[in-house]
Chains A and B, each alone.
Chain A
Amino acid sequence: MDLNKHTYVQDFLTHNAQSFPEKVALVYQNQRMTYWEINEQSDALAQWLVEYGIQPGDRILILLDNSPEYVISYYAILTSGAVAVPVNTDIKAAGLDFLFKDTGAKILISSSAFQRVLDDCNFQDASIKIIILCNPGPAQKAPGVLAISLADIVNARATFQPNIPVNQNALASIIYTSGSTGKPKGVMLSHKNIVSNTLAICQSLDLTHTDIQMVVLPFFYVMGKSLLNSHFAVGGTLVINNTFLYPATVLNQMAEEKVTGFSGVPSTYSFLLHRSPLENFRNKLPHLRYCSQAGGHLARSVKLALRKVLPDHTKIFIMYGATEASARLTCLDPQFYESKMDSVGKPIAGATIQIANEDGQTLPSYAVGELIAQGPGIMVGYWKNPAATALALDTMGYHTGDLGYKDEDDFIFIIGRKDNQLKVGGNRINTQEIEDMLLETGHVIEAFVTGYPDALLGHRLIAMAVAKNKPTNSQTILSACTQLIPRYKIPHTLLLVPSLPKTSNGKIDKEKCISLLTNHIRLEENQDKKDINDCKGLRHEQH
């Protein structure tokens, strides 16, 4: 198949509605939709948007769980010339109010599942003029703005396909990143960004129209969206399952639907390894051609365990990316999975990555510096935020904020985030290394390590972890650490919890972890002070 025929993101759908009209594009619960059916409904919505008065470049928000309606809405928005703004489904009213204001969007596409959030939004001061609702329930209250049913729109057959002239450099999507500090930043991606990155991913993973992908990552997240686009680009099939937290259901469906591909972030794989019957499915997944992982560092211990548990014929692709790079930047060819296990591989087609020092000089092999990426997938900039854009983008490319090096064969190794480097005493410590060690003890499923201000040391290490077995206490884990790392690298505090707080795309919610740890330490300190005072009081009484 000639993938280069795709120019705009919506071409992935429209071209395959011609090439594979009867092919099942989506499987969702008991529903199966062909490329033709999705395209028909997408065109109907696009036509409605144009007739409503949507102009090229207008922003439209999508607040939906993964579903056929999400896919229809996404491609319809792009066909109408507008810009799709996916919204994190964990959003609260204040966050949505911010997005209304920041994007100036006139339309929100959502569903009755988000009724509680919508009820709390301030539509009085918002630019939103209309909400298109999927499955409006009988009890649906008007949240102070006109609401219309998506089904009513898409069931009216399109009389024409809106043929809106769009430049390939025009904006296709604004994706808001949570950002560890400050307000969320809107990453602006053009049609060219997304199409080029999608085609490079198809090439890296050898995707074809025979591929069937199990999707458990949300479409609002750039990696989830890239699963949609890459499989629609080749005319493949997506099986949408939103119940990954009940993993046995997902594994059963993977076997039933003869799924060929599965993708996840690190917590997806930790969860599959430790809280699912994956091991029992080793002989039940004969069609599973590959698994891919991106969205953060996957510890070596997890990689080794995964290789043992997955069927032998299943290839594992380790990838690295960023929202600012449209999705993915590198891929480790599975043939190097064992020999270059800690590497994220090499840049995907069209991308380049250099390792540079703070003066912008390219560094030789094994020298650690910041990864700076270039290529057609690199974002246009941050929406209405020239200051943040200037910090991230310059003539060298996109400054990822990740530290790493290349080996003599040009494989890239990432050692951590620039902002994850801590000074503890006189020692520079990379928190990612400590997290890996906690996992390597064999007692821990997942871990988060950060620093806490300390008058004497600068920082002291504090950690939060999920124990593999209930009787394990923090003392057992920390004493196992003493066998693996020097004492100064051992966390001063280790808080055990049933699970680490996560964002809805499955990544560890660092902000929430830090807040829980800080509260825990303050409680401990107050208790210590109380004990000292009690002790002083006792001594005073004794005197």
Chain B
Amino acid sequence: MNSIDKVRAFIVDNFLFGDDSSLKEDSSFLQEHIVDSTGILEIITFLEEEFCIKINDDELLPENLDSLKNIDAFLKRKLSQK
């Protein structure tokens, strides 16, 4: 399973109760009410632990974290810096 598939599986299991029909690559987690108000922090914790990265406060931006596509690009950048 590649990185973004792991993230997708985490979101589907934790926020969509296994139903991934509404989750597209560019679905905005917040605007489409996929992730609730607590969920973003859970995603951050998941990314930090699963990929052994540190996400800084000033990186908490929608362009980094608000869709699978954005997370994919962000993860690639972070992992290449390691």
Contact = CB atoms under 8 A, between A and B. Distances in A.
Interface residues of A, number: 25
Contact of B58 (A65, A114, A243, A248): A248
Interface of A: 65, 89-90, 113-114, 116, 242-243, 245-249, 275-277, 280, 498-504, 506
Nearest to B37: A502
A504 B30 contact: no
Nearest to A275: B57
Q: Which 5 A-B pairs have the closest CB atoms?
A: A499-B41, A498-B45, A245-B40, A277-B58, A277-B57
B33 A89 contact: yes
Most buried by B among A113, A248, A280, A506: A248
A277 B42 CA distance: 19
Chain B interface: which size bin?
Answer: 20 to 34
Contact of A114 (B33, B36, B38, B44): B33
Majority DSSP secondary structure for residues of A touching B: loop
Contacts, number: 61
Contacts of A499: 38, 41-42, 45
B1 interface: no
A498 B41 contact: yes
B31 A113 contact: yes
Interface string B35-63: 01110111011000000000001111110
B79 to A, nearest CB: 19
B66 interface: yes
Contacts of A65: 31
Given A247-B60, A499-B38, A499-B45, 8 more contacts: A114-B33, A116-B22, A243-B30, A245-B30, A248-B57, A275-B60, A502-B36, A504-B37
B26 interface: no
B38 A246 contact: no
Given A246-B61, A248-B57, A277-B58, A501 B38 contact: yes
B68 interface: no
Nearest to A90: B36
B4 to A, nearest CB: 19
Contacts of A498: 41-42, 44-45
22 contacts: A90-B33, A90-B37, A113-B31, A116-B33, A243-B30, A243-B62, A243-B66, A245-B37, A245-B60, A246-B60, A247-B60, A248-B59, A249-B61, A249-B62, A276-B57, A280-B58, A499-B38, A499-B41, A499-B42, A499-B45, A500-B38, A504-B37
